[in-house]
Amino acid sequence: MNSELPAGWTIERARALSGDPSAAPLSCDRLVVVEVAGQGDYEPLRPDVILAFHELCLVRDDGEWFMGQLDDDGSVICWASYGSDLAEAIRSL
């Protein structure tokens, strides 16, 4: 699964930076949406990487990292983009 992470990244590095030893990659075969600001609506995302940190997730779609929450049904609802830098997105957890 490390091959899907950005160059130079491993799940171990993501765990170390986040302080979450249970951080794990998730299958992208699930519903992932992002809230549309001010509209109360959702847009679907097509992630190529999903990283779970307890209930929070970082989802990469088209080079941008979105933060969201993992629901009980396995879907992910994101609320914002945290940019293209994985380290910065992890620091925002």
Range of the domain at 71: 11-92
Structural domain total, the chain:
1
4 belongs to a structural domain: no
1 belongs to a structural domain: no
Write the CATH number for 70. Answer: 2.30.30
76 belongs to a structural domain: yes
55 belongs to a structural domain: yes
Digit-coded pLDDT (tens) for 17-58:
999 999 999 999 999 999 988 888 999 999 999 999 998 999
52 belongs to a structural domain: yes
Q: How far apart, in whole angstroms, are the C-alpha atoms of residue 13 and residue 49?
A: 15
**Buried-exposed string 51-61: b where 16+ CB fall within 10 A, e elsewhere:** bbbeebbbbbb
26 belongs to a structural domain: yes
Compute the mean pLDDT over every residue in the chain, rounded to the nearest whole number: 94
6 belongs to a structural domain: no
Q: pTM for this one?
A: 0.93
How far out from the chain centre does Cα 16 lie?
16
